[in-house]
Amino acid sequence: MKKPELLVTPLSVEDIFPLAEAGADAFVVGEQRYGLRLAGEFSREDVRKAVELAHSKGKKVYVAMNAIFHNDKIPELNDYIAFVREAGGDAIIFGDPAVLMAARETAPEMKLHWSTETTATNWYACNYWGRKGAKRAVLAREINMDACIEIKEHAEVEIEIQIHGMTAMFQSKRTLLGNYFDYQGRKMEPEKRKGKNMFLHDPGRGDKYPIFEDENGTHIMSPNDICMIDELQEFIEAGIDSFKIDGIMKDAEYIRRVTQLYRKAIDLCVSDPAQYEEAKDDLFRQIEAIQPPNRPLDTGFFFKETVY
């Protein structure tokens, strides 16, 4: 069986070496001006350094440009793409066709990964963007395992899925948190907009939905974390190309440890599926042991019917 890439989201340049040692094959980095819901903010100098460190370990770096762009940022796209090429980035993650068009002009050799969060729900859409120049499609979080496998069977591009971490439930370009505090006649400190200890609380279900603001607007996140460490075999047998661990709103040690455990799970599943079957429950328990108490684990939509 082919071994899938283990893709991880570092918080800072300092995380690159520890995560590489823990087993990450590739990293997602970027800055919020161009990328959505990043685990950490990477300046241009940070991106350049992350690429240098990752490449020294034989790892890849993908730079996020998957924001929804309005007219005011369009003139910046070519310059940022030229920077990513100069820095040695291995691919650009995009959702907006404006990025694809700018990449064709500035860096036609640059690999592109299509990632829209919600609309990669069928293989026709994946192949459409593949024929436009994308090398990979990042599947929507709202589709089940059977749909993911069916898409892979028909896809002309690489397929990436998220296997761990929180997911986005809502985004608005509006600064809803800031507007709410302004309406109350209160000032909201800028650092409070980053999601620490800010939740939408559903007392009926007991769920707490993290909510934060950044340059791209307001984001509401899932109350649970996906954890598929004990359900990898079908995805690996189907040939899924990349497994993503999303570390947004987690600390560096948590991301490192989770990466280490998934590395072990993937390697076991590929080399000795029977041993993986024996070990997977313990691997899940080890993640449970480090999981924040307010973040229950579940399997996302992988075993559910899609409900929008």
- pTM for the model: 0.91
What pLDDT was estimated at residue 218?
Answer: 85
**196 neighbors 211 (Cβ within 8 angstroms):** no
- Residue 38 CA to residue 52 CA, distance in Å, equals 20
pLDDT digits (tens, 9 = 90+) for 210-263: 888 888 888 888 889 999 999 999 999 999 999 999 999 999 999 999 999 999
**Angle at alpha carbon of residue 261, lines to 258 and 266, rounded to 5°:** 120
- Helix spans in the chain (H): 16-22, 44-56, 74-87, 97-106, 123-132, 145-154, 176-183, 233-238, 252-271, 273-290
Containing 165, the helix (H) or strand (E) segment is strand 158-165
Residue type, 62: Y
What is the DSSP code (8-state) at residue 203?
T
Residue 25, class by beta-carbon neighbours within 10 Å (0-12 exposed, 13-18 middle, 19+ buried)? Answer: buried
**263 neighbors 6 (Cβ within 8 angstroms):** yes
pLDDT digits (tens, 9 = 90+) for 23-80: 999 999 999 999 999 999 999 999 999 999 999 999 999 999 999 899 999 999 999 9
Residue 174 phi, psi dihedral angles, 5° rounding: -75, 150
The structural domains of the chain, ordered by start, are 5-166+225-298 (3.20.20.70), 171-218 (no CATH)
